[in-house]
């Protein structure tokens, strides 16, 4: 089936969905072009140019580039002309350092790079919302469309904020969404509170005394210390964190010695892992206990340990009022039975959290995993692809958030 033959298979309510569905084939072509040209964080030159070009064709009022390096912001004023309210909509643009194993026509044309998380789809949905909002302008206020770089580990949201995003565009609330293969198309999920965990990096450097593997009594073996440290760390969640709270501590890498030196006890060992929590109190507790345990275990063996704890992304916490509002908007599109208001939080992380730290708002999941298997491949998999069937719904949800946040006077 060619792009021009693509017909919307999802049904939803409302004028926004009906109108956006008319240019669904164009959104699909745009999305697939982005998929074929993936770019890493802060390298989204082609993506940014395509977005800018599309926004110009859409007829937005202004396009501001270079915010947060490769980020850009578009504004659209409603035809009410009286309100000073501003509502922000955010989409991430970057790809992943992965080799794609799909074989369709729009697979990645760039070796070692892939849109394995659907940011190509997120960008296309927001462009679709821009086109509809610029054509109709059925709202009183200003829509602020945020095309964000560097979500995948680069904290692009934080960089945009530090570059004056909300000083220049003081939105009253900000909304974002992410495709979710575990939800069916036509379903929206959210939660008034934690949606995603914080992401912290832990590096533990253990120093012992190296020597000959045949004479361990002459050494202080950092490998042994590392093994006991890994085991001790697992007691933090089970014995220090309350059962009703949530935390994950995973030691994911260890480096010590040389695989070619079977009889050399190394002098140092390094452990690297991640910590995931939903609350700052639990995060503080885990950091403190990691320092205490690692140093105590090392001291017990005559070694020393230094813990480097880096707080990378904070937890993504939706604000209650905006979550309730977003749920009602979604229900108007897909019906009450297709909105999950108590979606289980994920231990993954998301830098939209930085925006929710300074502005009220909500982060939503839009289902894309169809019964026929389309869109069911998990995120960050080499065979993942965004489900183009949901493009009109995602765009309509964005647009409806603007229209209903800033309604025209009757």
CATH number (domain holding residue 149): 3.40.630.10
- Are 341 and 372 in the same domain? yes
Domain boundary among 298, 313, 328: 313
Q: Which of 43, 44, 92, 94 is catalytic?
A: 94
**In the chain, count of helices (H) and strands (E)?**
11, 16
Inside any domain, residue 25? yes
Domain boundary among 262, 297, 313: 313
pLDDT digits (tens, 9 = 90+) for 242-283: 999 999 999 999 999 999 999 999 999 999 999 999 999 999
Which residue from 21, 43, 52 is spatially nearest to 127, judged by alpha carbons? 52
Contact assessment for residue 197 and residue 347, using Cβ atoms and an 8 Å cutoff: yes
- Are 286 and 385 in the same domain? no
pLDDT digits (tens, 9 = 90+) for 211-244: 999 999 999 999 999 999 999 999 999 999 999 9
pLDDT digits (tens, 9 = 90+) for 387-403: 999 999 999 999 999 99
| CATH label of the domain that carries residue 229 | 3.30.70.360
Q: Which of 92, 100, 120, 151 is catalytic?
A: 151
- Are 261 and 379 in the same domain? no
- Are 217 and 298 in the same domain? yes
- Which residue segment(s) compose the domain that 307 sits in? 199-313
Average pLDDT over residues 364-382: 94
Inside any domain, residue 155? yes
Instruction: Express the helix, strand and coil content of the chain in percent, nearest 5 each.
Output: 35, 25, 40
Inside any domain, residue 410? no
pLDDT at residue 296 is higher than 70: yes
- Are 211 and 357 in the same domain? no
**Has 151 been annotated as catalytic?**
yes
- Are 173 and 93 in the same domain? yes
- Are 308 and 330 in the same domain? no
The number of folded domains in the chain is: 2
Domain boundary among 313, 329, 352: 313
pLDDT digits (tens, 9 = 90+) for 316-336: 999 999 999 999 999 999 999
C-alpha–C-alpha distance, residues 185 and 369, integer Å: 6
- Are 271 and 168 in the same domain? no
- Are 39 and 168 in the same domain? yes
Q: How far is CA 136 from the centre of its chain?
A: 30
């Amino acid at each position: 089936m060619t792009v021009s033959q693509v017909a919307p298979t999802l049904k939803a309510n409302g004028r926004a969905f009906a109108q956006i569905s008319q240019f669904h084939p164009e959104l699909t072509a745009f999305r697939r072009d982005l998929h074929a040209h993936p770019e890493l964080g802060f390298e989204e030159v082609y993506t940014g140019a395509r977005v800018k070009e599309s926004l110009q064709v859409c007829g937005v009022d202004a396009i501001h580039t270079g915010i947060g390096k490769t980020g850009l912001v578009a504004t659209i004023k409603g035809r009410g002309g009286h309100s000073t309210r501003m509502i922000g909509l955010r989409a991430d643009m970057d790809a992943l350092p992965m080799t794609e194993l799909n074989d369709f026509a729009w697979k990645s044309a760039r070796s070692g790079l892939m849109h394995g998380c659907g940011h190509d789809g997120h960008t296309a949905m927001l462009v679709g919302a821009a086109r509809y909002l610029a054509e109709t302008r059925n709202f009183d206020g200003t829509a602020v469309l945020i095309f964000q770089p560097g979500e995948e580990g680069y904290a692009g949201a934080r960089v945009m904020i530090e570059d004056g995003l909300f000083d220049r565009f003081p939105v009253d609330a900000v909304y974002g969404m992410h495709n979710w293969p575990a939800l069916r198309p036509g379903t929206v999920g959210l939660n008034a509170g934690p949606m995603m965990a914080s992401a912290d990096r832990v590096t533990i450097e253990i120093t012992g005394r190296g020597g000959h593997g045949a004479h361990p009594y002459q050494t202080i073996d950092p490998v042994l210390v590392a093994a006991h440290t890994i085991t001790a760390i697992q007691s933090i969640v089970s014995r220090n964190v309350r059962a009703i709270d949530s935390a994950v501590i995973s030691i994911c890498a260890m480096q010590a010695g040389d695989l070619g030196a079977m009889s050399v006890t190394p002098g140092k060992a390094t452990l690297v892992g991640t910590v995931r929590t939903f609350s700052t109190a639990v995060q503080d507790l885990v950091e403190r206990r990691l320092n205490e345990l690692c140093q105590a275990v090392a001291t017990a063996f005559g070694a020393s340990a230094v813990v480097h704890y880096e707080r990378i992304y904070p937890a993504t916490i939706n604000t209650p009022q905006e979550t309730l509002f977003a749920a009602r908007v979604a229900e108007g599109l897909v019906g009450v039975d297709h909105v999950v208001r108590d979606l289980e939080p994920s231990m993954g992380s998301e830098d939209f959290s930085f925006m929710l730290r300074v502005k009220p708002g909500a982060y939503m999941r839009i289902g894309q995993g169809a019964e026929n298997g389309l869109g069911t491949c998990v995120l960050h998999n080499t065979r993942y692809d965004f489900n183009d069937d949901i493009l009109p719904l995602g765009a309509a949800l964005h647009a409806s958030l603007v229209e209903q946040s800033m309604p025209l006077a009757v």
